[in-house]
Structures are given as C-alpha cells and as structure tokens.
Chains A and B, each alone.
Chain A
Amino acid sequence: MKLELRFFASLREALGVSQEGLTIPDSIKTIADLRNYLTQRGNPWSEVLADGKVLRCALNQHMVDANTPLQDGAEVAFFPPVTGG
C-alpha cells in the first residue's frame, strides 16, 4: 500500500521531514500500526512517535482515531494537539 505522509509543527521540526511518500508492507493495517512501524526507524522517530506522546492524526485531511484502517493512496498526517484561535 502506498501512502503520502505529512508532519506538522513540533513533529515536523523534530523529525526534520514535512512530507514523504511511503510504501508499507501488507501487515500495516491501521493508523496505530503505521505509527508503530515508523517508530522502528529509530531516533528521532522512536522518540517523537512513542506511545506516551499525545498526537493527533488525520486520514485524507479528516481527524481520525488510531484504530482507523488505512487506505491505498491516502494522505496520512501526524501532528500535535492543535493550538489555533
């Protein structure tokens, strides 16, 4: 499955990446699976995306929870809780 990853704000800075195309193995089915998969890249990924970190995630530009299934070609974004207004 192919995905387009996006990172924002403190995550973007800590990872040093704002956007990345990625092909993932079939075993990665949900947002939570993807997050765990990315932590296996080692630092800074393991730290920034660690379980204890409070993150938000969007699938095709809609906020979703960790159990949401991924879709081929989807845009998946990770970011910290929002602070606008």
Chain B
Amino acid sequence: MVLKWLSFRQLPGADVPIKIQENDFDVSAEIANLRKGDPRVGAVVTFLGTVRDMNDGSQVKGMTLEHYPGMTEKALQEILDQAKARWDIYQTLVIHRVGPLMPEDQIVLVAVTSAHRGEAFTACEFIMDYLKTAAPFWKKEDTPDGTRWVDARVTDEAAMARWVKK
C-alpha cells in the first residue's frame, strides 16, 4: 500500500488533548499515549484529583459534577495555551470527569511533558490553579443532611493570583 509510506507522524505537542467525560480513565495508559513517539521528553509531571469522603466538616457520600459544554473546552484550551507560552513544555493533557462520582473516584488528571522536570512541575501547578478558578465546573455533594452545592474557596483565588504577572 502506498499509504503506508505516507504515514504522517503528528508533530509532538501539536495537539492539545482535552477530555470531558463521564467514564473513568487509566493514568498509565494516558501518560504512555501522551509521550509516545517523542524522545525529547525527559519528564512527565501529573496531578490526579480524587473524591474525598469529607468536605467542610460533613461526610460526603457522593457528588455530581456539572459543567458548561462548549465553554469548558474553550477555557481549558486557553489555560493550556497560556502554559505553553510561559514554560518550555511539550505535551499537555487535561481529563475532567462529569456526572455522578463516589469517594475515592478519580476526578481530574493534568499531565505535562518537558525535557527537564522544573518546567513541567511549574506548568502543571499553574494549569491546576487556573482550572480551579476559570474552568466552568460545579460540584454538588450528597451529604447525610442532603445535597449541597460546594462553595468556591478563597484559597483557590489566592493560588491563582500567584501566577498573575506583575
């Protein structure tokens, strides 16, 4: 087959995967896929967020995550574009689950690759801090006293403010 000789290898880092999904994900498989075919990569930093069984002094039996389809993808894309402009990184990945979740479930994965660890560590933290305040997701918790919408934390705003260039 002629096509075999024309197999285009995607430029590493050219695509910016953003996945909003109800299904769980496999962290190892996602990392393997992210850095596959890119021998420049010497560091992969990931952040994995999971569901706690306690929040604001109440037991959490489960939660439901709502988001704003369309805007969510745009907001995450902007965050990743900013990270790529500020740090010397290669691939980035954000997976965020929506819908019903239980304690211990995985909620969010951020992964960043780079040649050396420093840039990837910093960019990963930046992406997570921005996601917490700029990506349109909302958690509704199921507690023994009924359901409640989670309040935004002042500490999240403060974490994001650290990244604003003076």
A interface residues, Cβ below 8 angstroms from B: 6, 8-10, 58, 61-63, 77, 79-85
Contact = CB atoms under 8 A, between A and B. Distances in A.
Q: Which 8 A-B pairs have the closest CB atoms?
A: A84-B137, A81-B152, A9-B138, A61-B71, A10-B149, A83-B150, A85-B132, A83-B139
A58 B78 CA distance: 14
Given A9-B66, A9-B149, A10-B149, A83 B71 contact: no
Contacts of A8: 66, 68, 136, 138
Nearest to B147: A13
Contacts of A80: 138, 149, 152
B137 A85 contact: yes
A41 to B, nearest CB: 22
Main secondary structure of the interface of B (DSSP, over half): mixed
A10 to B, nearest CB: 4
Nearest to A79: B136
| Interface size of B as a range | 20 to 34
Contact of B132 (A61, A62, A84): A84
B131 interface: yes
Contact of B74 (A61, A79, A84): A61
